[in-house]
Each structure stands twice: as C-alpha cells, then as structure tokens.
C-alpha cells in the first residue's frame, strides 16, 4: 500500500499506516513479513522525516507551525519520529494484540513493523 504525504499538517497519515498494517495482518491474515506499506513524503511533509538536530537548528516547528504537545511551544524536535515503546520490549514481536506495539503510530514504531518512508 502506498500513501502520498504532501502536507505536514495532515499527520493522520501515521495512524492510517498503522491501521493498514493491522488490517492486513489481523483482518486478512497476511503474515507480517509479507506486508509492505510505503509513505511518500514530499513538500512540507518532508520535514517529518528530518532528525531532531535539523528541527532544532532550523526551528522547523516555528517555520511550519508545528507545536510540540509536551511543551505547547513550536517544536524543536520531530514529534512524529520517536516511539514510546522501548525497543527492548519488542525484540520479539508481541503475541498480544493489545500490546502498545500494535497501537504505535510513531515513524520509529511503524518502521519496526516494516514501514518504508520515502522523501
């Protein structure tokens, strides 16, 4: 499945990608290694793929009107990248569908599940 992502303010894309992966795996029974979801970022959405150094150095939150939900200030970090699920917790893929691994909409978390992001 391929998603186009031109506008950083349409960040629902990450939830849509998670839902696609979960749908393929749990609704259609497609084995996880056989699923490929791709997000093609372009235009302002390219910034969602930049690391925290670039976000801070160029004040991208201020330039792109992105607010950090933790500080309520213009973002100085990529708020979409980091997963709240520790890598150690998912070294082995959880069997429990209620595990946070399957609800994770971060880029890092989705990449653990095979998401490919192009920019």
**Is the whole-model pTM more than 0.85?**
yes
* Apex 115 CA angle, 70 and 46, nearest 5: 60
Query: Is 56 part of a structural domain of the chain?
Result: no
Does residue 42 form part of some domain? yes
Residue 74 domain-assigned?
no
Backbone angles phi, psi at 84, to 5 degrees: -85, -5
> Is 75 among the domain residues?
no
- pLDDT of 24-37, one tens digit each? 999 999 999 999 99
Q: Is the pLDDT of residue 11 over 90?
A: no
Q: For position 50, what pLDDT does the model report? A: 97
Name the band, by pLDDT with cuts 50, 70 and 90, for residue 53: very high
- Identify whether 33 is part of a domain: yes
Report the number of distinct structural domains present in the chain: 1
Whether residue 71 is contained in a domain is answered as no
The range of the structural domain enclosing residue 43 comes to 2-51+81-118
- Residue 75 scores a pLDDT above 90: yes
> How does the average pLDDT of the chain come out, rounded?
96
- The arithmetic mean of pLDDT across residues 61-89, rounded, is 97
């Amino acid at each position: 499945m391929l998603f186009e992502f031109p506008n950083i303010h349409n960040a629902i894309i990450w939830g849509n990608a998670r839902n696609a992966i979960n749908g393929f795996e749990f609704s259609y029974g497609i084995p996880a290694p056989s699923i490929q979801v791709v997000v093609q970022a372009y235009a302002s959405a390219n910034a969602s793929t930049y690391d925290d150094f670039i976000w801070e150095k160029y004040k991208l939150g201020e330039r792109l009107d992105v607010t950090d939900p933790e500080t309520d200030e213009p973002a100085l970090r990529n708020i979409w990248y980091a997963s709240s699920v520790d890598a150690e917790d998912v070294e082995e893929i959880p069997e429990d569908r209620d595990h946070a691994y399957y609800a994770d909409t971060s880029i890092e978390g989705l990449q653990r599940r095979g998401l490919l992001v192009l920019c």
